[in-house]
């Protein structure tokens, strides 16, 4: 298994950048792209790499090596494997869904059945989810090409919902590792209150950080 972590990186939050930089895994930093632009960028990354296990994470999280390893240790190519994070700084709910998503053109809060962090961490074995929110979401290269990154509108939003709906409709399971929690720094739908938390797009770049 040769894993790669794609990092959506339009912000420069110091504590998040430090944690992401410390992760022991091959990385590709997707810097300063909108979600709509990432549709083509991620497709090109996936097509060009020889990594066979590819994950995605957002840059407003504080990930740990333990959480990353817990997802990779259970990975197999027929399903999707993910970590999870708190929805916002002061909430107990996490970005998974305990039951199938309600399918709409644009998701509303009633489309999801968010469990609490405690419910996931107390799961016996892997936690079955119908939603994955890009907190260490890993799929095989073939799966990424079968279900490519996509979003709604321009500059783009709800890419995680779009992926999760397509997986649900194709009966591809999403499994969350109970040890896969990472902290999410969003407050009231925004990170603008944080140093470096403003989203900056334009002049996007793709920066590979490989061990060999």
What domains, with CATH codes, occur in the chain? 3-209 (3.90.550.10)
Q: Give the residue-averaged pLDDT of 159-187.
A: 96
φ/ψ (deg, to 5) at 179: -95, 10
Q: Give the residue-averaged pLDDT of 122-147.
A: 97
Work out the percent of the chain whose per-residue pLDDT is above 70.
96
Q: Is 29 helix (H, G, I), strand (E, B) or coil?
A: strand
Work out the percent of the chain whose per-residue pLDDT is above 90.
90
Q: What is the pLDDT of residue 187?
A: 64
What would the two tokens of residue 81 be? Answer: 């494997």
DSSP letters spanning 160-212 = HHHHHHHHHHTT--EEEEEEEEEEE--BTTB-TTSTT-S---SS-EEEEE---
Name the residue with higher pLDDT: 18 or 188. Answer: 18
Q: Which residues contact 18 (CB under 8 A, 6 or more apart)?
A: none
Q: Sorting pLDDT into bands at 50, 70 and 90, what band is 195?
A: confident
Torsion of CA 68, 25, 87, 14, to 10 degrees: 130
- Residues 70-86 have pLDDT tens digits of 999 999 999 999 999 99
Q: What is the pLDDT of residue 197?
A: 73
Query: Looking at 1-5, 98-102, 197-201, which range is the least confident one?
Result: 197-201
Is residue 193 pLDDT above 90, yes or no?
Answer: no
Q: Sorting pLDDT into bands at 50, 70 and 90, what band is 33?
A: very high
Is residue 188 pLDDT above 60, yes or no?
Answer: no
Global pTM reads 0.95
Q: What is the pLDDT of residue 45?
A: 98
CA atoms within a 13 Å half-sphere pointing along the CA-CB vector of 26: 15
């Amino acid at each position: 298994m040769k894993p790669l972590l794609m990092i959506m990186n339009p912000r420069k939050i110091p504590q998040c950048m430090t944690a992401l930089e410390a992760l022991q895994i091959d990385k590709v930093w997707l810097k300063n792209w909108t979600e709509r632009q990432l549709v083509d960028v991620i497709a090109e990354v996936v097509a060009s790499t020889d990594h066979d296990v590819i994950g995605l994470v957002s840059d407003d999280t504080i990930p740990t090596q333990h959480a990353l390893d817990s997802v990779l240790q259970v990975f197999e190519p027929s399903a999707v494997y993910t970590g999870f994070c708190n929805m916002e700084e002061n909430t107990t709910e996490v970005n998974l869904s305990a039951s199938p998503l309600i399918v709409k053109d644009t998701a509303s809060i009633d489309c999801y059945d968010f469990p609490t962090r405690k419910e996931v961490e107390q799961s016996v074995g892997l936690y079955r989810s119908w939603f994955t929110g890009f907190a260490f979401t890993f799929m095989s290269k073939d799966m990424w090409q079968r279900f490519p990154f996509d979003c709604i509108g321009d500059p783009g939003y709800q890419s995680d919902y779009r992926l999760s709906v397509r997986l649900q409709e194709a009966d591809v399971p999403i499994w969350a590792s109970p040890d896969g929690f990472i902290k999410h720094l969003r407050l009231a739908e925004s990170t603008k209150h944080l140093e470096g938390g403003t989203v900056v797009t334009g002049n996007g770049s793709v920066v590979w950080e490989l061990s060999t």
